[in-house]
Each structure stands twice: as C-alpha cells, then as structure tokens.
Amino acid sequence: MSKLLQAQGLSVSYGILPAVRDVAIDVGPGAVVALLGANGAGKSTILKAIAGLVPTQGEIIFDGETLGTLSTRQRVRRGIVYVPEGRQIVATLSVGENLTLGGYHLDRPTLRQRSEMVLGLFPEIANCVHSPAWMLSGGEQQMLAIGRALMSGPRLLLLDEPSLGLAPLLVKRVFERLNTIRQMSALSVVLVEQNFRMTMQLADDVYFVRSGGIVGHRGAAELQGPAAREQAIESYLGAAH
C-alpha cells in the first residue's frame, strides 16, 4: 500500500547542536504511528520537522509531493497539522474563537459544519463555547487543542503528548476520543507519547527514539510480549546516558 507520508534522512540542529539525525519514518493512510522515547530524545523535533516548524535536512514526501521548503502554512493547507505539547490554546479567546482559529482559511458554511463535528466529538467543551478557554480543565483544554486541529480537516495529525499533565481518567477519555476520530475518518496520526500502555491501544506502528535517532521500529502485533516492553524501557534508559 502506498504511504501517505515518507520521511527519509531527516536531520535537525538547534544552532550547532544536532537534535535529530538521519530519521526515517513512514505513515500509511489511516495509520497511527507512535514515537516513543525519553525526555529530550528528539520526538517533538521530528514532529516539528514534518510540520515545517524547524529548518530540516532530508526528504519528506506527503501524498506523492516532496514538501521541500514549503512553509508550515502551506503544509496545513495540504493537511498536515501539528498539535503542540502543552496545548497552546489561546487562553483569552473563547472556546468557539479558538476553534475558528483552527479553520481560519475556511468559508463560513464549512467552518460551521466542522465546528459542529468537533463539538459533537467533544461534548465536554460544547457546553462552554462562549467561555474563555482558560476556564477549561486541563483535559478539556487538550480536547480543544485537538478539536482546533481537526477544524482544518487534516489528513495527518501530529500529536505531541496529548496525555501530558492529565489525570489517568482524562487520558483515557482523550484516547477514547482519538480512537473515535480515527474510526470516523481516514485520518493518519503521528503520536508522541511517554505512556506505553495508552500508546499500544492506539498505535499500528511504533518507532523507538533515542538520542535523536530511531533505534527500533515494530508493528503493533509484534509489541504484545515482554520483549517489546523491554525495548521500550531500553529506549527510555538509553537517552539518560
């Protein structure tokens, strides 16, 4: 099956410090691909490279097109949307206004239709469309961040640690919703997570990231046993050296 996203030889440096080197990742249509690794391993940087947020060497092909120097905005138009770590919604704007921001380039009917779809998916925030976003709980803010990304009708969602700072019950809820979104549309996802168990409920493919490189790649079916857990732990511990 042809891939939606094919990235090869991705390297990113911050100043003179290399953060990611020679990373290759493939994402199939409708697939959830997870990046697992310790703090500072380079997971967010890989997502930012795909989103066009950091200068990147290497090749990224999306739906047959080489992205090259396309800007983040141009990538959003093609359907690549990044949901940053720590949510970064606009606290002073209302929930509804935050959603509108996510679909800034859409005509009014499409905007309304998407907004209804998102609020249907996240009833928790549907009750507070007119409230300022800062009034939402952490979990609701995460739902708003994902909802805002869905407004643009993405084909590839780059999700950076959606469970960060959330109570286990809320993590479960956010993941359930992600599963629903996935079943509803042919949306592909690159998911960055530290939560191995939650990741395994969603992912088709897992890449282990350590010290800026990919140190392992397994299909979900291969990841059921203790050997998989061992590799997960190894990829976390490795980064500490």
Cβ proximity to Mg ion, 41 vs 202, nearer residue? 41
Cβ proximity to ligand ATP, 43 vs 182, nearer residue? 43
CB 153 within 8 A of CB 1: no
Question: What is the maximum span of the chain, computed from C-alpha positions, in angstroms?
Answer: 53
> Site mask, ligand ATP, residues 76-105, x = CB under 6 A?
---------x--------------------
Could you tell me which residues are beta bridge partners of residue 12? 20
E strands within the chain?
5-14, 17-27, 32-36, 57-62, 65-66, 80-83, 156-160, 188-193, 205-210, 213-219
Cα–Cα distance measured from residue 31 to residue 26, given in angstroms and rounded to the nearest whole number:
10
Q: Pick the stretch among 34-42, 65-73, 75-83, 136-144 that binds ligand ATP (CB under 6 A).
A: 34-42
Residue ranges in contact with Mg ion by CB under 5 A? 44, 85
Q: State the nearest-atom distance from the C-beta of 160 to Mg ion, in Å.
A: 6
Token look-up 């929930």 returns: 95
Q: State the nearest-atom distance from the C-beta of 42 to Mg ion, in Å.
A: 8
DSSP assignment, residue 94?
A: B
Task: Compute the Cα dihedral for 178, 181, 182, 188 and give only its sign.
Answer: negative
- The answer to whether residue 19 forms part of the interface with ligand ATP (CB under 6 A) is yes
Cβ proximity to ligand ATP, 43 vs 114, nearer residue? 43
Q: With CB cut-offs between 5 and 8 Å by kind, which of Mg ion, ligand ATP, none does residue 134 bind? A: none
Cβ proximity to Mg ion, 7 vs 209, nearer residue? 209
Residues that bind ligand ATP (CB under 6 A): 14, 19, 37, 39-45, 85
